[in-house]
């Protein structure tokens, strides 16, 4: 099975889509794809989220679409049924990691402490999401973890923005950063899709 970073390829931005309607979600995805984005995460935080994944995959079949905010076996099953190309969790537990063990698509488990990292490593994961990054020690924490967990790579999300993304990406153990700053709620509500495209283009540089 491919690793999550291999799906990302050279893309160092994990753009996060949070949409209240299917139409919003598809338009966000189209705006991101126009900037050269090949992979997006749809967080399952609204009732429309699963349908957003299905519709993006129908209208943009060349785009890899994964599900975030996976917390338990039931949500995992729904996300996979919707056609998710990968799975991302906000946190880790023994029960959740056990459920994910047989997942047939790449998984990026969420961690926030050194104990979480060790637990995920014990389950065989070498690529993890630090969340919420800014409240979990940020770049200094990841730099410190690099000397302890030498084989673990991270994709931090939460509190990442245009001003601090390079603090993370300059670290040897960070392969990408994730965030919603490239598609803030006010742009989505006003239909400012060109601003999302521009923000994604800037984030990729």
The domain that holds 96 is classified in CATH as: 3.20.20.70
3 lies in some domain? no
Per-residue pLDDT reduced to its tens digit, 97-156: 999 999 999 999 999 999 999 999 999 999 999 999 999 999 999 999 999 999 999 999
CA angle centred on 186, ends 27 and 80, rounded to 5°: 45
pLDDT at 1: 61
The predicted model gives 20-39 an average pLDDT of 98
The residue range of the domain holding 20 is 11-203
Q: Which residues are catalytic?
A: 41, 129
pLDDT at 205: 82
2 lies in some domain? no
The predicted model gives 43-72 an average pLDDT of 98
6 lies in some domain? no
114 lies in some domain? yes
The tally of domains found in the chain comes to 1
4 lies in some domain? no
Give the distance from CA 14 to its chain's centroid. Answer: 5
């Amino acid at each position: 099975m491919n690793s999550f970073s291999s799906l990302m390829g050279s893309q160092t931005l994990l753009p996060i889509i949070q949409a209240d309607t299917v139409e919003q979600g598809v338009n966000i995805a189209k705006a991101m794809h126009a900037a050269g984005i090949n992979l997006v995460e749809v967080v399952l935080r609204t009732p429309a989220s699963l349908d957003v994944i299905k519709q993006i995959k129908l209208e943009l079949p060349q785009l890899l679409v994964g599900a975030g905010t996976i917390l338990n076996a039931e949500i995992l099953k729904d996300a996979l049924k919707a056609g998710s190309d990968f799975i991302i969790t906000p946190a880790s537990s023994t029960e959740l990691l056990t459920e994910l063990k047989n997942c047939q698509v790449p998984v990026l488990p969420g961690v926030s402490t050194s104990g979480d990292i060790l637990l995920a490593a014990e389950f065989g994961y070498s690529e993890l999401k630090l969340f919420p990054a800014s409240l979990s020690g940020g770049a200094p924490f990841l730099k410190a973890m690099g000397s302890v967990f030498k084989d673990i790579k991270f994709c931090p999300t939460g509190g990442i923005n245009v001003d601090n993304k390079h603090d993370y990406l300059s670290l040897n153990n960070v392969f990408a950063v994730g965030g919603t700053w490239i598609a803030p709620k006010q742009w989505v509500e006003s239909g400012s899709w060109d601003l999302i495209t521009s923000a994604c283009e800037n984030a990729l540089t």
